[in-house]
Amino acid sequence: MLLSNAIFTPPPDMKISDWADEFRELPPEASCEPGHWSTDRAPYQREMMNAICPPSAERIVMMTAAQVGKSEILLNTIGYYIHKEPSPILMMQPTLEMGESFSKDRIATMLRDCTCLHGKVKDPRARDSGNTLLHKTFPGGHITIAGANSPASLASRPIRVLLCDEVDRYPVSAGTEGDPLSLAMKRTQNFWNRKIIIVSTPTHQGISRIEKEYLNSTREEWTLPCPKCGGYNALDWERIIFEGKTEPVMRCEHCGYEGNGYDWKSQSHKGKWLRGNESHVRGFHVNALASPWVSWPEIVRQYDEAYRNGVDMLKVWRNTVLGLPYEETAGTIEIDSMNDHEETYGAELPDEVLLLTAGIDTQDNRLEVEILGHGLNNETWGIEYKILYGDPGDKVLWEKLDEYLSREWHYADGESLKVSCACIDSAGHFTDEVYSFCKDKARRNIFPIIGRGKFGLPSVSRPTMHKRGQVYLFKLGVNTIKGELFTRLNASRGESGYCHFPAEKNRGYDRVYYAGLLSERMIMRRKGGQEYITWEVRDKKIRNEPLDCRVYALGAYKILNPDMSRHVRKKTQTQTQAQKSPAMSKPVKKLMRPRIFRRGITL
C-alpha cells in the first residue's frame, strides 16, 4: 500500500499570527471592524498567538480583560490547525448552550469567510457531511465543541489541541464526573505535541482558576515604551491619573512624563512582553488600557459608574476592564468595631436618606423587620429593627406588619417617606401565609422571596409567577448580597457603600443586633479539587435574623433598582423663605415625599 508523501510532510514554517495576516477574514456579524485581519491593529496579540506554535510549548495561559480580542485569538488558532496542521481539536465553553452559540456565530462564519477553509469542512446540508453544530470533521482531524457543564460532551476522545475558554465560569464539577478542566486535559495525554490553551477573564482572588494558572506561568505583562524617554512601562491602573485632568494620562515610572492614551498607544508597534517568572508555561496578562477598541476616557467613565453603583459593579469592572481578580474583603468583623458606625440622627430619617426598603424574616412566634434607608453612592442608614411577636398563622400578626409597612417616617423638617419596596422570606413553615399577605400587594412592591445560597448567583433573578400563591416570587442570591454587605461594613466613612447605624438604642440596634448581623463569615472550601466560597455561622448560639433581614432589605433595593439621581430632596422656595424669615405670616407649603422612579423589573 502506497502512502501519500503529504502524510510525512512536516508542518509549514508558519506562525499563527502569519496565518491570520494572510488568510483570516473578520465577518460583519461578529466584528466591529469586518474585513481582512491585521495583527498590527493590536500588536500584543502577536506573541500570544505565536507562543502556541513551538513544539516545546504545551500549555499557554491568557488572563485578560474583555474587549482585547481573546476570542479572535482562539478562532485564529482553530483556523490555523484546520488549514495547516490538521489535528483533533476540542473547544470547551462554560456551558453547552454557550458552545452552540460560539459554533454557530463564530466558527461557522469563519469557515464561510476564509477562502482557505472552503471545502475543508463539508456543507452541513450534504449527506454524511460530518458537520454538525457541535462536531465538525475535516481531512486529518475534527473539532468538537463541548460544555463544561455537560459530562456527555466530555466523553472520551483523543484530543491534540484543547482550547478552554472562560475557565473561571466553569462549574466545580461536570455532573458527577469531577473538575471539567482536568477531565478535558486527560484527553490530550496520547499526544506528545499536545496544546492546551487556557483563556479567561478572572473572577475572585484566591479561587480564580485562571489566576492560579497565570501565577504558575511566566507571568508576562504587556509593556509600552515611554513616548519621551523610551523606558518600558506596564499599563497599570494605579498610574492612571484623571482627577483634575481634561483627559486621563499615565505617568512614566522612569522619567515622570504624563501622556494620554493616544500618546502611549501610538507606541504599540514597539511594545513587548516582560516576564515576571521563570516557567515552562507561557502566561500572558493584558488589560483594556492596551486595547485599540476602548479609549482611556471611556475606561475612566466606566470606573466612575461602577464606583457609584457599588461593590458588585466594581468587581465586574476590575475583572472585565483590568483583567484582574477581585479581592474579597468580606470576612470576620468584630462586634466592637460597629460602634464606630453609630451616630445620632436627630430625627427618624437623616437628611441624606432618599428611599426606604424593608426586609422581613419569618419565625415560628414572630416576624423580624428592618427598615433600611438608602442614599447616594450606595450608602445606607439603619432606621429601625423591630420584632413583631405573635403567631404567623394568625391574620392579626400580618395586619400588624401591614400597618408597620404603611407608616410614614419623618425628617427633621417634617417631610416624610414610606417604604418603597419590601422582601419577605417565604421559606419555612409559613409559606402559604406569606403568599397570602403578598398576593394583593405587588403594586406596593411587597414581594415574597426565597434565598439561594449557591456562590456566583446574581443578587436578584427575574420573578416568576408562583401558581399556587398567584404572586410574583423573587430569588435572591444571598451569598452574593452577603459578600457585598460585608465589604460595605468594612468601608470607611465617606467611601461608597458606607453603613450608618443610629446611636439611639430604642431603634433596636444594640449589641444583640450586631452579633446577629455579624453571625456569619465567608470561608473557602474545596470540592473536586477546586475551591469555592461559602458562608458559615460563627457561633450556632447566635441568631442570624438581623443578617437575613439586612440581606432582604438590600435585595428589595436591587429589585426596585431606582435612579437615585432623581431622588434629590428639593425644598420649595416658599419653605426656604420661611426658614429665612420666621415671622412670615404666609403658611409654609408642605412638601410631598419624592416620587419613586423605577428602572428595575416591570411587573
For 122-149, what is each residue's pLDDT tens digit?
766 655 556 888 999 999 999 999 999 8
Q: What does the pLDDT read at residue 328?
A: 63
pLDDT digits (tens, 9 = 90+) for 152-164: 777 767 999 999 9
DSSP-assigned letter for residue 491 = P
Q: Is the dihedral of CA 370, 375, 380, 384 positive or negative?
A: negative
Res 494: pLDDT = 84
pLDDT at 601: 41
Query: What's the residue count for the chain?
Result: 603
pLDDT digits (tens, 9 = 90+) for 223-268: 999 999 999 999 999 999 998 899 999 999 999 999 999 999 999 9
Contact criterion met (CB below 8 Å) for 403 and 396: no
DSSP reduced 3-state for 498: coil
Per-residue buried b or exposed e for 480-489, using 16+ beta carbons within 10 Å of the residue's own CB: bbbbbbbbbb
Q: How far apart are CA 489 and CA 498, in angstroms?
A: 7
In tens, the pLDDT along 456-492 reads: 678 888 888 776 667 889 999 998 899 889 888 988 8
Q: Are 132 and 138 in contact (CB under 8 A)?
A: no
Is the predicted pLDDT of residue 7 greater than 60, yes or no?
A: no
- Give mean pLDDT, residues 501-513: 93
Weakest mean pLDDT among 273-287, 455-469, 499-513, 524-538: 524-538
Contact 509, 372 (CB under 8 A): no
Task: Report the range out of 116-125, 133-142, 567-576 with the highest average pLDDT.
Answer: 133-142
Stronger pLDDT, 107 or 491, i.e. the higher one: 107
Is residue 180 within a helix (H) or strand (E), and if so which, with residue range? helix 180-186
**pLDDT, position 416:** 92
Tell me what the mean pLDDT of segment 208-217 comes to. Answer: 94
What residues are paired with 250 via a beta bridge? 240, 259
User: Which residue is it, cell 456543507?
Assistant: 123
Interval 22-51 mean pLDDT? 94
- pLDDT of res. 576: 35
Strands 499-502 and 342-343: what pairing? parallel
This prediction's pTM: 0.69
Measured CA to CA, the distance from residue 592 to residue 417 in angstroms comes to: 9
**Alpha carbon distance, N-terminus to C-terminus of the chain:** 72
Interaxial angle between packed helices 395-406 and 431-438, expressed in degrees from 0 to 180 and rounded to the nearest 10: 40
Long-range contacts formed by 129-134: CB under 8 A, 24+ apart: 133/100, 133/103, 133/104, 134/96, 134/99, 134/100, 134/103
Least confident of 287-296, 446-455, 532-541: 532-541
CA of residue 595 relative to chain centroid, distance = 31
- Tell me what the mean pLDDT of segment 2-21 comes to: 71
Distance CA 114, CA 19 (A): 11
Q: Is the pLDDT of residue 99 over 60?
A: yes
Least confident of 198-202, 474-478, 597-601: 597-601
> Which amino acid is located at 161 in the chain?
V
The pLDDT value recorded for residue 116 is 95
pLDDT at 561 over 80: yes
Does residue 598 register a pLDDT over 80?
no
In the chain, pLDDT over 70 holds for what percent of residues? 86
Whether 392 contacts 364, CB under 8 Å? yes
pLDDT tier for residue 12 given thresholds of 50, 70 and 90: low
pLDDT reading at 594 higher than 70? no
pLDDT band at 4 (very low <50, low <70, confident <90, very high): very low
The mean pLDDT of 294-321, rounded to a whole number, is 89
Instruction: Say which residue the cell 477562502 belongs to.
Output: 115
What pLDDT was estimated at residue 582? 37
Please report the beta strands in 332-415, taking only residues with DSSP state E, as ranges in sequence order. Answer: 342-343, 355-363, 366-374, 380-389, 409-410
Nearest CA to 377 among 304, 481, 459? 304
- Average pLDDT on 401-407 reads 96
CA quadruple 343, 346, 347, 350: dihedral positive or negative? negative
Q: How confident is the model at residue 357 (pLDDT cuts 50, 70, 90)?
A: very high
Residues 6+ apart with CB under 8 A from 12: 84
Long-range contacts of 126-135 (CB under 8 A, 24+ apart): 133/100, 133/103, 133/104, 134/96, 134/99, 134/100, 134/103
Residue 195 — pLDDT band, cuts 50, 70, 90?
A: very high
183 pLDDT more than 60: yes
Share of the chain above pLDDT 90, in %: 63
pLDDT grade for 602, boundaries at 50, 70 and 90: very low
- In the chain, the domains with their CATH numbers are 13-201 (3.40.50.300), 220-274 (no CATH), 335-565+573-580 (3.30.420)
Higher pLDDT, 493 or 65: 65
* Cα(313)–Cα(260) distance, integer angstroms: 25
The stretch 70-93 carries a mean pLDDT of 96
| Residue 319 clears pLDDT 80, i.e. is over it | yes
Half-sphere exposure of residue 107: CA atoms within 13 angstroms, side-chain side: 28
**Contact yes or no for 295/263 (Cβ under 8 A):** no
> Chain-wide mean pLDDT for the chain?
86
- Residue 580: what pLDDT? 38
Alpha-carbon distance of 41 to 432, in angstroms, equals 61
CA nearest neighbour of 560 among 479, 445, 453: 445
Question: Span 65-74, mean pLDDT?
Answer: 94
Instruction: Judge contact between 257 and 227, C-beta under 8 A.
Output: yes
The pLDDT of residue 574 is: 34
d(CA 249, CA 8): 55
Buried b (16+ CB within 10 A) or exposed e, 167-176: bbbbbbbbee
